[in-house]
């Protein structure tokens, strides 16, 4: 397993670039799943390889439902990423996660409906565990980086992913609070599922921009979200730099690196070669022998 870090950064709304990269270059990466959201910005930061992908593309042309998350994760894997730190604008479902606070996500509730959510189809049926959907190691380091930047942080948050692109109704927002969700967004699923299938440790930092619409008399609009995103943006960039600077010199193996070892259920003589060909980046290590 890789002993050298190569960090994939997925930038959410308002984060379309990474500052301070050395030898930076935008590189187009082809995948069997179609086009990723944008080219991948490759470079180094504090001596660590970094691969940055703006989730919605530069200028935000791609809607949540139309994101090609399979291509995005595949492209980062092809670019050599060992781990992924994702950043996303979120609405808050808790009074104590006020706009401007960052939330380190621990769990997900998936309410998306129209998205391709797996790499594994008939011919290579695979069931990965999503009981603990994020990497504890990355999450802890991200929380420390936020604190080091004087940012406010909540840890252990549950993120509910909705289809969008509309914001929630009040009834929905209040229901999600009853379900135990802490923050709400439109993009982290199936992204987190696909990262696990690609054996990439994944952490998600939510930047709270608003209180959704569960509070009496309040609602959320794009102008409010954009204003808070701009306020959060500098801290997010500083957090990424602190996160990178705080990485251990050597990367120790993660159990997520081998998440597929006990996940494949299709017998070898039933493997579909056409399906396997598309999995060369995501699961290629399983076919090396």
Catalytic positions, written as ranges: 210, 212
Cα–Cα distances in Å, from 30 out to 35, 42, 75? Answer: 7, 15, 7
Reference 99, options 108, 89, 109, 107; nearest CA is 89
3-state secondary structure the chain: CCCCCEEEEEECCCCCCCCCCEEEEEECCCCCCCCCCCCEEEEEECCEEEEEEECCCCCCCCCCCCCCHHHHHHHHHHCCCCEEEEEEEEEECCCCCCCCCEEEEEEEEEECCCCCCCCCCCCCCECCCCCCCCCHHHHHHHHHHHHHCCCCEEEEEEEEEECCCCCCCHHHHHHHHHHCCCEEECCHHHHHHHHHHCCCCEEEEEEEEECCCCCCCCCCCHHHHHHHHHHHHHHHHHHHHHHHHCCCCCCCCCHHHHCCCCCECCCHHHCCHHHHHHCCCCCHHHHCC
Which phi and psi (to 5°) does residue 104 adopt?
A: -90, 115
The answer to whether residues 139 and 286 touch, using CB atoms and an 8 Å cutoff, is no
């Amino acid at each position: 397993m890789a002993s050298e870090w190569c960090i994939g950064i997925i930038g959410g709304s308002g984060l379309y670039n990474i500052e301070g990269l050395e030898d930076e270059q935008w590189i187009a990466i082809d995948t069997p799943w179609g086009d990723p959201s944008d080219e991948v910005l490759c470079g180094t930061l504090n001596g660590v390889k970094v691969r940055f992908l703006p989730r919605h593309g530069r200028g935000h042309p791609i809607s949540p439902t139309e994101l090609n998350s399979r291509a995005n994760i595949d492209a980062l894997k092809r670019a050599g990423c060992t781990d992924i730190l994702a950043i996303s604008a979120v609405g808050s479902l808790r009074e104590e996660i006020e706009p401007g606070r960052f939330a380190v996500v621990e769990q997900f509730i998936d309410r998306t409906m129209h998205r391709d959510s797996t790499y594994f189809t008939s011919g290579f049926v695979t069931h990965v565990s999503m009981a603990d959907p994020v990497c504890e190691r990355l999450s802890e380091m991200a929380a420390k980086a936020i604190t080091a930047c004087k940012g406010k942080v909540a840890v252990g948050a549950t993120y509910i992913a909705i289809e969008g692109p509309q914001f929630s109704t009040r009834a929905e927002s209040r229901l999600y609070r009853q379900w135990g969700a802490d923050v709400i967004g439109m993009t982290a699923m199936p992204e987190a599922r696909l990262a696990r299938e690609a054996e990439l440790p994944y952490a998600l930092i939510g930047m709270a921009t608003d209180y959704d619409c569960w509070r009496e008399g309040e609602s959320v609009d794009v102008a409010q979200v954009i204003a808070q995103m701009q306020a959060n943006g500098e801290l997010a960039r500083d957090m990424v730099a602190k996160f990178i600077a705080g990485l251990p010199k050597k990367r120790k193996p993660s159990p997520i690196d081998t998440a597929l070892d006990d996940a494949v259920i299709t017998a070898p003589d039933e493997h579909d070669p056409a399906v396997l060909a598309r999995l060369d980046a995501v699961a290629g290590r399983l076919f090396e022998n």
